[in-house]
Amino acid sequence: MTSADAHDPAEITRRAEKIIAGGETLTVEFKRRQTPGDFPDDKLAATVACMANGEGGTLFIGVEDSGTITGCAPWNKKKGITEPSQLEASIQHRTVPPLACRAQLLVLNGLEVVQIDVPKSATPVATSTGLYQRRTMQVSGGPECVGMEPSYLFSRYNSANARDWSTLDAVDAATDDLDPAEIERFRRMVRTRGGDDILGDLPDEDILRALGLFDDGANPVKLGAVLLFGTSDAVHRWIPNHEVIFQVMDGTAVTVNHRTTAPLLAVVDDISARLDVQRTEDEITLGMLRVALPNLPERVSREAVANALTHRDYTDLGPVRILLDRRSFTVSNPGGLPRDVSLETIIEASSPRSPALAGAFKRAGIVDRAGRGVRLMYQALLTSGHGEPDYSSTTDNQVTVDIPVSGTDREFARFVAAWQHDHGDLDVRDLRVLHTLHEEGRTSTDRLTALLDEKPDRLRRILHRLNDVALVETIGRGAAREYCLGSAFYDTVGRRPDFIRSQSIGDVRARQLIQAYAAEYGTVTRAQAAETCGLTGPATYRLLKSMADAGELVKHGSTRNTYYTLPEG
């Protein structure tokens, strides 16, 4: 929507009708108000505060849960009118901190409806009576507001104010509550995993200080120090919610069921050893080059487990769960995504819930020190012929990643290995596009955008870059434009004839492409149809004549200026 559209009443009405037609979601709420008592000011404040504690969104007052527009009773009884500015003031007066919303009075189907645009709040918002709620989805599928439990509220405040929970005091803890063997484990990791060499030879206390987990205060030992290096009793006392469950399933049978509350570095070594037993490996050869195709790349499992351990919310109940079965490797942890991270930005974003814990893992050499862990997971999976990690089961309360371990795509792995051997590494976004085209075949821009959850402008740049090196082929133009793997891909995997065959286009699809072109641009010429469908001149002539004879197109003119349009009506 342009800035002009944003103030156009007709456009505002059309947009509201479209949103209402989509029904209630996490960011859309309907409220009945056929009488003032149906939805008074206190309920208004509670509803907008709840939405602000989620993703924000749009509240429509005067609309039933079903989406039926029934109208909003006037807010000002004396004047018999609703004044948006008074609603905005009422919301600010009844929320803490004051929440600035935008209210509008619309007329839909001849009835007044109030639209309130609610911003997402970085810090928790309460009503003036102290009610804290957040937006979530019911099991039945509809949205609802539920109370914020203390642990969730504490986590939100810490996140909003950039507080690192792991650097808080472990009240009454002393260095005797830390296990020297665990600090020695840290030193060993530094030396063997390529960590921060400076820390390898420091005394115990200096290591703790360097990690930001020890100071000269009344309570020098911090919670993060206990979580990383604490004795069993200390972890149980100061980090009572810490628990990791590791399971291996064979069909419906549980073959491994392991529970641990050991300090984090010990957990890393323990889970790594248990996963190593479960790894299998296929391989491909490129001349003298052998390329391993593990069912679960070590880097992927290491990053996934480390992310769960360092980014989980330790103020929340529940264990970190690690499950391996024939199909997938799944890791879940309590607490939603960290501040400033979303499913859309998860590949690039690096905003740990606890910078101190994440820093300790980086300096030990457990995870990538540049904060590219998720990006490297994608890259390792795609280069080894697997699909992408799937975060779609993630909620406000839990992060879940599902990693495929079966169904290796040997051809795609062969292509990546050969191409990168000759041309250098492919960017992870290039890999995602190529892998999707390999799975989907010829695909439109809109579908690629949806499948990859990628920004359209960035996707166009990626496709243009891949087209320049013949890894992607562009077919058609405008709304009919599609993409498929290019000649360089087929040449690399030794299937050039398949590329040639892929360029032929069926009659039905050609008709659809020509009709789509005519619908977008109003007319289509023979040359434009040939370019859109990749057909020869004679083939295009025969197809256009057939479509005109069938009434699918209307022919105009009879010379070189001939063009075609869609039939009216």
Amino acid of residue 91: I
> What pLDDT sits at residue 1?
47
Residue 188 within a domain: yes
Domain count, the chain: 5
Residue 72 within a domain: yes
Residue 154 within a domain: no
Residue 528 within a domain: yes
- Contact (Cβ atoms closer than 8 angstroms) between residue 278 and residue 353: no
* 39 and 118 assigned to the same domain: yes
* CB proximity list for 388: less than 8 A, separation 6 or greater: 378, 381, 382, 432, 435
Kindly state the helix (H) or strand (E) to which residue 315 belongs, with its residue range: none
Residue 159 within a domain: no
Residue 337 CA to residue 342 CA, distance in Å, equals 7
Structural domain of residue 55, as residue ranges? 5-148
* 17 and 68 assigned to the same domain: yes
Residue 153 within a domain: no
- Contact (Cβ atoms closer than 8 angstroms) between residue 303 and residue 406: no
Last residue of a domain, one of 207, 238, 269: 238
* 113 and 14 assigned to the same domain: yes
Q: Long-range contacts: 538-547, Cβ < 8 Å, 24+?
A: 543/507, 543/510, 543/511, 543/514, 544/514, 547/511, 547/514
> What pLDDT sits at residue 169?
86
* 266 and 377 assigned to the same domain: yes
Per-residue pLDDT tens, the chain, 569 aa: give them. Answer: 444 455 678 888 999 999 999 999 999 999 999 998 899 999 999 999 999 998 899 999 999 999 999 999 999 888 889 988 889 878 988 888 878 788 999 999 999 999 999 998 878 899 989 899 988 887 677 889 998 877 677 666 666 555 678 888 888 899 999 999 999 999 999 999 999 999 989 999 999 999 999 999 888 999 999 999 999 999 998 998 899 999 999 999 999 999 999 999 999 999 999 999 999 998 888 888 888 999 999 999 999 999 999 999 887 778 999 999 999 999 999 988 877 788 888 888 777 888 999 999 999 999 987 778 899 999 999 999 999 999 999 988 899 999 999 888 888 999 999 999 999 999 999 999 999 998 888 788 888 998 898 888 999 999 999 999 999 988 877 667 888 888 899 888 887 766 665 565 667 778 888 898 888 878 888 877 877 776 667 778 888 989 999 999 999 877 666 889 999 87
* 526 and 471 assigned to the same domain: no
SS3 readout for 204-273: HHHHHHHCCCECCCCCCEEHHHHHHHECHHHHHHHCCCCCEEEEEEECCEEEEEEEECCCHHHHHHHHHH
How many helices and strands, by DSSP H and E, does the chain display?
Answer: 22, 20
Amino acid of residue 403: I
CATH code, domain with 79: 3.30.950.30
* 329 and 393 assigned to the same domain: yes
Residue 418 within a domain: yes
Threshold 0.75, pTM exceeds:
no
Peptide bond into 97 cis (omega under 30): yes
* 310 and 367 assigned to the same domain: yes
Kindly state the helix (H) or strand (E) to which residue 143 belongs, with its residue range: strand 143-147
233, 310, 302: which is closest to 269 by C-alpha?
Answer: 302
- Contact (Cβ atoms closer than 8 angstroms) between residue 263 and residue 361: no
Phi-psi bin for 509: left (phi > 0), alpha (psi -120 to 50), beta?
alpha
> What pLDDT sits at residue 50?
95
The single-letter DSSP state of residue 38 is G
Beta-carbon-side half-sphere exposure of residue 311 (alpha carbons within 13 Å): 27
Tokens 């795509």, residue located? 409
Residue 155 within a domain: no
Tokens of 321: 């769960």
* 45 and 113 assigned to the same domain: yes
Last residue of a domain, one of 90, 113, 148: 148
> What pLDDT sits at residue 157?
66
* 360 and 438 assigned to the same domain: no
* 121 and 25 assigned to the same domain: yes
* 138 and 206 assigned to the same domain: no
* 27 and 138 assigned to the same domain: yes
Last residue of a domain, one of 346, 376, 410: 410
> What pLDDT sits at residue 206?
97
Q: Kindly provide the b/e burial profile for residues 156-188, where b requires at least 16 CB atoms within 10 angstroms of the residue's own CB.
A: bebbeeeebbbbeebeebeeebbbeebbebbbe
Residue 322 CA to residue 308 CA, distance in Å, equals 9
Q: Are β-strands 253-260 and 244-250 bridged in parallel, bridged antiparallel, or unpaired?
A: antiparallel
At residue 157, what are phi and psi to the nearest 5 degrees? -65, -45
Q: Are β-strands 244-250 and 320-324 bridged in parallel, bridged antiparallel, or unpaired?
A: parallel
The single-letter DSSP state of residue 97 is S
Residue 269 CA to residue 359 CA, distance in Å, equals 18
- What angle in degrees, to the nearest 10, is found between the helix axes of 507-521 and 526-533? 130
* CB proximity list for 519: less than 8 A, separation 6 or greater: 479, 566
* CB proximity list for 122: less than 8 A, separation 6 or greater: 160, 339
> What pLDDT sits at residue 3?
45
CA-based torsion, 232, 237, 238, 240: positive or negative: positive
CATH code, domain with 423: 1.10.10.10
